[in-house]
Amino acid sequence: MSGFRKSGALPLLISDNISCSHGFSTREGGVSHGDGLDTLDLGMGTEEDVRENRRRFASALGGDISNMFSAKQIHSNIVETVTKNDLGRHFECDGFVTSEKELLLTVKVADCVPILLYDDSGVIGAVHAGWRGTVSGIAVSAVKKMISLGASAENIKTAIGPCIHSCCYEVDIPFVRAVKEAEYGSELLTFITPAKTEGKFYADLPSMNRHLLTLSGVKDENINICPSCTSCENDVFFSHRASHGKRGLMMGGIILK
Ligand SMILES: [Zn+2]
């Protein structure tokens, strides 16, 4: 995979684009069994299993589970700026940014788009972009929040992790209508193409997010998209579509050391 490689005892996908500790988990390396959760489920199963799996994920990134930020995700464009004083707080949002070291920013996905962002001035971000978050511009919100912490758009490097690609993301006319009405919808219709079946379309979420990042001033060469489709490769990744909802959750995580 161009620019992405697997690393360590716990297989994580790492982007060559980002030079701080980060990674996207796969299904491998955890303790969960059954109900589509095998094995590295980071959010759906029993509290005990999820905690052990998260501990392993944090440790593979050189971090500690007690410094992990993980929100209740609400398919919004809300990105929160966090410091160590926010550890333990309950968050309802779909992204985090920080300029503090040792804080592990995470997002949970199983087809949705995980985006990790890095500026070498010492600002990082993590974003969960489902289609609603994508078309309401969560990628744009994340870049704005990073700039307010001292980052500059042309310096930001991003990795778009494994997610559902257009090959498997068939949508219908109500979806297209909802995109049209969304804040960034008119910019993004070009990434929805007709499928063979009448009234069906394919939506390209990773390319939509790439486009929004470039609109925010991120250079195209600084955006790295993982070519893996979570639904095509459901043996490697959790996929909501491929499993008809019977699946665990993966994480993208990033931490400044
Ligand atoms: Zn696919």
| Amino acid identity at 6 | K
Domain total of the chain: 1
Residue 84 lies in a domain: yes
What CATH number does residue 48 fall under? 3.60.140.10
- Whole-number Å distance, alpha carbon 229 to ligand 1 midpoint, is 5
- Whole-number Å distance, alpha carbon 77 to ligand 1 midpoint, is 25
Residue 196 lies in a domain: no
Residue 244 lies in a domain: yes
Residue 230 lies in a domain: yes
Could you tell me if 114 and 225 are in contact, meaning their C-beta atoms sit under 8 angstroms apart? no
CA 125 to chain centre: 10
Residue 172 lies in a domain: no
- Whole-number Å distance, alpha carbon 111 to ligand 1 midpoint, is 10
Burial of 81 (0-12, 13-18, 19+ CB in 10 A): middle
Closest-CA residue to 123 (of 152, 94, 85, 161): 152
- Whole-number Å distance, alpha carbon 37 to ligand 1 midpoint, is 20
pLDDT band of 8, cuts 50, 70, 90: low
User: pLDDT tens digit string along 62-104?
Assistant: 999 999 999 999 999 999 999 999 999 999 999 999 999 999 9
pLDDT band of 118, cuts 50, 70, 90: very high
Residue 186 lies in a domain: no
pLDDT band of 14, cuts 50, 70, 90: very high
Asked whether residue 29 carries a pLDDT value surpassing 80, the answer given is yes
- Whole-number Å distance, alpha carbon 20 to ligand 1 midpoint, is 29
Closest-CA residue to 31 (of 6, 13, 10): 10
Helix axes 205-215, 138-148, angle to 10 degrees: 40
Residue 181 lies in a domain: no
Structural domain range at position 214: 4-165+206-255
- Whole-number Å distance, alpha carbon 10 to ligand 1 midpoint, is 24
- Whole-number Å distance, alpha carbon 234 to ligand 1 midpoint, is 9
Rounded CA gap, 39 and 37, in Å? 6
Residue 191 lies in a domain: no
Rounded CA gap, 172 and 175, in Å? 5
User: Looking at the DSSP assignment, which residues form a beta bridge with residue 163?
Assistant: 229
